[in-house]
């Protein structure tokens, strides 16, 4: 295809309507028809990236192969498309302004007054087109964060207006995602908020080409007609997006509504092919018809907001479908785990995952949970900080190193079994001081982890500052905590497991970032299988007692 086509997804009426899922579902349908599609997210906040944001503010921070800390929507894009994203797929206002200010300091604007239009908008247009210019994609979908009418998203909307005009009619279109609320007192759906939202968009010079309407009830033909007339779109371009049992149903729902057909028609592309969703639908079938159920405790300190652990929860869905089991995830706040509560909270589980995180709040509860899993042969997976808790627990309770800790929690600890890398000790700025992105890891043959991956060398994504302290390696190994994955470049330990335990693995990296519908992550698949084996063994033991 000669030139790349651009699709812009804007939101109106309310935030959190699911622009990311609609964008990912559309991209999935286009991909299933043989087009090469990618998605980028423009975020209107002034943080340079979400790396320093509290998970309660913005959900989890998602990390790409090239080490970019990005919005969690990029996780959806990768899970749906099974294609890696990069730094270019997430742009924030902070990054845009930083770049423009640096250019101004270097004198690149030749003494001109630097303004939002054209300098900021030009920078935005440039970022939007980066992915389209390398020839890798037929279609670039750009999701614009926030809601139309917000002050902070105005420069993005203006950049889209200019680009749409520059690219011409068949090369760009705007999908506006909006809410059609149901008023139970009146017993009807209301179109007025959508009309106002589209009007706001038009005041900025942009006509929506397609309306995707989030709704709790079916849209009647009358309502579709009304929306089409008042919002200046064709009736076939009024697309219903009704609440779905799972986000993975949305591509099929959009296919039924004909979203991909309307898009291809507007972009003057052929819609002769039929989307091939066989693999997707096989996954859905297994996901919706499990043969068994396992209970896994997710032990963390941001459990009130599920988006804080989005990738982990989705990885359980992929691994559950692969094992044909339903993974019932129980959220357990680590601050509420102590000697008197632990039995109640954990004894009925089939597996324990100790989640990643930063800071010292709630870590003693995590350590107690690790101990319980270790002593009771409960399948255990520790991710990042969770792996470090595994090392600390073992050092304290098996090696009897009193007060063993990470220097992140206790700078004065006598036994820093987890410590800052030498190279990091001089750095004072928090942003960008971590080991980020994809790193190599060599696995020990014959280990659990080697069986999990079935290979000697893996690449996994990292996001952490503190490391396993190699000074304690010999002691830990002699006592039974094996280091079965090592980074060949630095010699740092990436994976620990216990010798005499059915399934106990801690990894310094984040496997959840690489799990997709098409390729569930082997570590989660193996962990869920171990939990299922544990559950079956328990049931059999109970039956034998009867």
Residues known to be catalytic: 384, 510, 512
Indicate the DSSP class of residue 354.
E
Please, are residues 406 and 388 in contact by the beta-carbon 8 Å criterion? yes
Please, are residues 185 and 139 in contact by the beta-carbon 8 Å criterion? no
Q: Is 465 labelled a binding residue?
A: yes
Q: Is 387 labelled a binding residue?
A: yes
Q: Is 19 labelled a binding residue?
A: yes
| CA angle centred on 39, ends 36 and 42, rounded to 5° | 155
Q: Is 23 labelled a binding residue?
A: no
Indicate the DSSP class of residue 322.
H
Q: Which residues pair with 405 in a beta bridge?
A: 416
Q: Is 21 labelled a binding residue?
A: yes
Nearest Cα to Cα of residue 212 among 9, 7, 5, 6 = 9
HSE of 422, CA atoms in CB hemisphere, 13 A: 3
CA distance 393 to 397: 6
Q: Is 451 labelled a binding residue?
A: no
Rg (CA), the chain: 25
Residue positions counted in the chain: 546
- Look up residue 451 and give its two tokens: 């069986």
Q: Is 143 labelled a binding residue?
A: yes
Nearest Cα to Cα of residue 64 among 90, 94, 38, 42 = 90
Q: Is 115 labelled a binding residue?
A: no
Let me know if 450 is exposed, middle or buried by CB neighbors in 10 A (0-12, 13-18, 19+). middle
Q: Is 489 labelled a binding residue?
A: no
Q: Is 330 labelled a binding residue?
A: no
- Look up residue 460 and give its two tokens: 């996994």
- Look up residue 438 and give its two tokens: 């994809």
Q: Is 16 labelled a binding residue?
A: yes
Q: Is 273 labelled a binding residue?
A: no
Q: Is 400 labelled a binding residue?
A: no
Q: Is 246 labelled a binding residue?
A: no
- 3-class DSSP state of 509: coil
Q: Is 385 labelled a binding residue?
A: yes
Q: Which residues pair with 284 in a beta bridge?
A: none
Is the torsion defined by CA of 229, 251, 216, 312 positive or negative?
negative
Q: Is 106 labelled a binding residue?
A: no
Q: Is 226 labelled a binding residue?
A: yes
Q: Which residues pair with 441 in a beta bridge?
A: 458
Is the torsion defined by CA of 373, 488, 82, 173 positive or negative?
positive
Q: Is 447 labelled a binding residue?
A: no
Q: Is 194 labelled a binding residue?
A: yes
- Look up residue 171 and give its two tokens: 């090369």
Count of CB atoms situated within 10 Å of the CB of 298: 19
Q: What is the DSSP string of 442-480?
A: EEPTTSHHHHHHTSSEEEEEEEESEEE-GGGHHHHHHTT
Helices 192-203 + 221-231 axis angle, to 10: 20
Q: Is 537 labelled a binding residue?
A: no
- 3-class DSSP state of 344: helix
Q: Is 472 labelled a binding residue?
A: no
Please, are residues 159 and 123 in contact by the beta-carbon 8 Å criterion? no
Please, are residues 469 and 418 in contact by the beta-carbon 8 Å criterion? yes
Q: Is 191 labelled a binding residue?
A: yes
Please, are residues 123 and 100 in contact by the beta-carbon 8 Å criterion? yes
Annotated binding site: 15-21, 56, 73, 143, 150-152, 190-195, 226, 244, 357, 385-388, 408, 465
Known binding-site positions for Mg(2+): 73, 143
Binding residue ranges for UTP = 15, 190-195, 226
Which parts are annotated binding residues for ATP? Answer: 16-21, 73, 244
Instruction: Show binding-site residues for L-glutamine.
Output: 56, 357, 385-388, 408, 465
The annotated binding site for CTP is made up of 15, 150-152, 190-195, 226
């Amino acid at each position: 295809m000669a030139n790349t086509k651009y699709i812009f997804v804007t939101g109106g009426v309310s935030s959190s309507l699911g622009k990311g899922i609609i964008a990912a579902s559309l991209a999935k349908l286009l991909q299933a028809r043989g087009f090469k599609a990618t998605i980028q997210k423009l975020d209107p906040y002034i943080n340079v990236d979400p790396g320093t944001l509290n998970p309660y503010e913005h959900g989890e921070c998602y990390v790409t192969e090239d080490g970019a800390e990005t919005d969690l929507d990029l996780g959806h894009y990768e899970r749906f498309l099974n294609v890696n994203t990069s730094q270019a797929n997430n742009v924030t206002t902070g990054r845009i302004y930083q770049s423009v200010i640096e250019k101004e300091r270097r004198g690149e604007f030749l003494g001109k007054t630097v303004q939002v239009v054209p300098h900021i908008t030009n920078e935005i247009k440039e970022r939007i087109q980066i992915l389209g210019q390398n020839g890798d994609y037929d279609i670039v979908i750009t999701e614009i964060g926030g809601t139309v009418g917000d002050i902070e998203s105005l420069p993005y909307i203006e950049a889209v207006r200019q680009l749409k005009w520059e690219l011409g009619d068949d090369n760009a279109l705007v999908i506006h995602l909006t809410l059609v609320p149901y008023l139970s007192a009146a017993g009807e759906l209301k179109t007025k908020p959508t009309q106002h939202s589209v009007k706001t968009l038009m005041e900025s010079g942009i006509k929506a080409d397609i309306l995707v309407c989030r709704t709790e009830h079916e849209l009647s033909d009358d309502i579709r007609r009304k929306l089409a007339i008042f919002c200046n779109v064709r009736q076939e371009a009024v697309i219903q997006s009704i609440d779905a049992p799972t986000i993975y149903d949305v591509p099929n729902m959009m296919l039924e509504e004909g979203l991909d057909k309307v898009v291809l028609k507007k972009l003057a592309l052929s819609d002769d092919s039929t989307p091939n969703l066989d693999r997707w639908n096989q996954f859905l079938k297994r996901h919706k018809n499990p043969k068994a159920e396992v209970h896994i405790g997710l032990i963390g300190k941001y459990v009130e907001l599920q988006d804080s652990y989005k990738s982990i929860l989705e990885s359980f869905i992929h691994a559950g479908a692969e094992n044909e089991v339903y993974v019932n995830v129980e959220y357990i706040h680590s601050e509420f785990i102590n000697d008197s509560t632990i039995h109640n909270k954990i004894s009925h589980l089939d597996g324990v995952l100790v989640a990643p995180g930063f800071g010292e709040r709630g870590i003693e509860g995590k350590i107690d949970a690790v101990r319980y899993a270790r002593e009771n042969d409960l399948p255990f997976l520790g991710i990042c900080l969770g792996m470090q808790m595994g090392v600390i627990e073992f050092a304290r309770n098996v090696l009897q190193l009193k007060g063993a800790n990470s220097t992140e929690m206790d700078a004065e600890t006598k036994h820093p079994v987890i410590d800052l890398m030498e190279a990091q000790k001089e750095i004072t700025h928090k942003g960008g001081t971590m080991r980020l992105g994809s790193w190599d890891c060599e696995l020990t043959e014959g280990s659990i982890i080697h069986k999990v991956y079935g290979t000697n060398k893996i690449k996994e994504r990292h996001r952490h500052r503190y490391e396993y302290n190699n000074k304690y390696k010999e002691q830990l190994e002699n006592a039974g905590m094996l280091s079965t994955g090592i980074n060949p470049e630095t010699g740092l330990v990436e994976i620990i497991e216990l010798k005499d335990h059915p399934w106990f693995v801690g990894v310094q990296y984040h496997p959840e970032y690489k799990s997709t519908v098409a390729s569930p992550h082997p570590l989660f698949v193996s962990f869920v299988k171990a939990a299922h084996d544990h559950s079956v063994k328990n049931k059999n033991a109970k039956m034998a007692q009867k």
